């Protein structure tokens, strides 16, 4: 993901990483990688409030950090941030997304594609509770999203999301996909700008008809085939082998490992999420991820 962003973005980039869930190896590799590839980075963290209902599973805690603390985990000087999943390949200049007018909304997400008809039976948001709750609004995917931190703080979006979360999370059957369900549920109060469909393409939901226009490719799970993500990456993403080889060679050089670079590396674990934000000095000349 990092390499694909850097190869397509024509302005300085800063990556923000949530420190709690990075592997020791990643922490060792990122400083020399930043020097080699000329990007900035910062490790950030926030202690879970004692008054907020806490998740017990590590994966759900990570999901919670993606949405619950956006107003407090970044410096106040940061005005905009783009979240990008670790298992995503970027094919466009992220500056374009950073500069996009999201019409005064605090959040911008891409709606789920609806053109792969084979998946219609899995679109849970078109029936039952979600159909009634959304009332015509889109259900968005959480693998890529823009946060206007200034608007987010001005409108107390963080407080509103935490109130919704506190109410819903006490029911173990709610918020199955916490980082995705929560903003979609709350969009009546915390409005979402729907990004153009090409900003997030995944084979499972979108099919191949629109792949050529994709600005990012997300290796999302396919509930029908349950194909392993690494296997899907090799098959779906033409630039994957070159990106994977470059990343593995650099990692081996830094860590001194004798890696067999002919064997593709596994995808990052889900906990290694990455964030992107705006420049603190010149908003026109830098994109922070």
Q: pLDDT tens digit string along 47-100?
A: 999 999 999 899 999 999 999 999 999 999 999 999 999 999 999 999 999 999
Report whether pLDDT(202) > 70: yes
pLDDT at 266: 52
d(CA 42, CA 270): 19
Beta carbons within 10 angstroms of residue 186's beta carbon: 20
pLDDT at 173: 84
What's the chain's Rg over C-alpha atoms? 19
Quickly state the pLDDT bin for 257 (edges 50, 70, 90). Answer: low
pLDDT at 216: 98
Give the mean model confidence (pLDDT) for residues 252-277: 55
| pTM score above 0.75 | yes
Percent of the chain with pLDDT over 70: 89
d(CA 229, CA 224): 13
Contacts of 189 (CB under 8 A, 6+ apart): 160, 164
- What is the average pLDDT value for the chain, to the nearest integer? 88
Q: What is the pLDDT of residues 209-240, one digit of tens each?
A: 899 999 999 998 888 888 898 899 999 999 99
Quickly state the pLDDT bin for 283 (edges 50, 70, 90). Answer: very low
Taken in order of first residue, the domains within the chain and their CATH numbers are 2-288 (3.90.550.10)
pLDDT at 223: 84
């Amino acid at each position: 993901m990092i390499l694909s962003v850097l190869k397509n973005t024509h302005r300085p980039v800063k990556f923000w990483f949530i420190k709690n869930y990075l592997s020791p190896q990643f922490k060792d590799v990122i400083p020399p990688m930043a020097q080699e590839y000329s990007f900035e980075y910062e490790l950030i963290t926030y202690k879970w409030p004692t008054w907020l209902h806490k998740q017990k599973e590590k994966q759900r805690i990570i999901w919670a950090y993606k949405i619950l603390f956006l107003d407090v985990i970044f410096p106040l000087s940061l005005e905009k941030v783009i979240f990008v999943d670790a298992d995503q390949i970027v094919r466009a200049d992220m500056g374009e997304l950073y500069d996009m007018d999201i019409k005064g909304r605090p959040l911008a997400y891409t709606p789920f594609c609806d053109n792969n008809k084979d998946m219609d039976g899995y679109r849970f948001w078109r029936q039952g509770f979600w159909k009634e709750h959304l009332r015509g609004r889109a259900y968005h995917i959480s693998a890529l999203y823009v946060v206007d931190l200034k608007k987010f703080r001005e409108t107390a979006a963080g407080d509103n999301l935490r109130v919704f979360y506190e109410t819903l999370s006490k029911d173990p059957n709610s918020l199955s996909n916490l980082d995705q369900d929560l903003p979609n549920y709350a969009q009546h109060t915390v409005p979402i700008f729907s990004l153009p469909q090409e900003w997030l393409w995944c084979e499972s939901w979108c099919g191949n008809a629109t792949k050529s226009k994709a600005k990012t490719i997300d290796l999302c799970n396919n509930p029908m085939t349950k194909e392993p993500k690494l296997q899907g990456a090799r098959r779906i993403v033409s630039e994957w082998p070159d990106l994977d080889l470059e990343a593995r060679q650099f990692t081996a050089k830094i860590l001194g490992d004798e890696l067999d670079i002919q064997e593709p590396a596994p995808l990052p674990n889900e906990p290694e999420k990455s964030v992107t934000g705006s420049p603190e000095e010149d908003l026109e000349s830098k994109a922070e991820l």
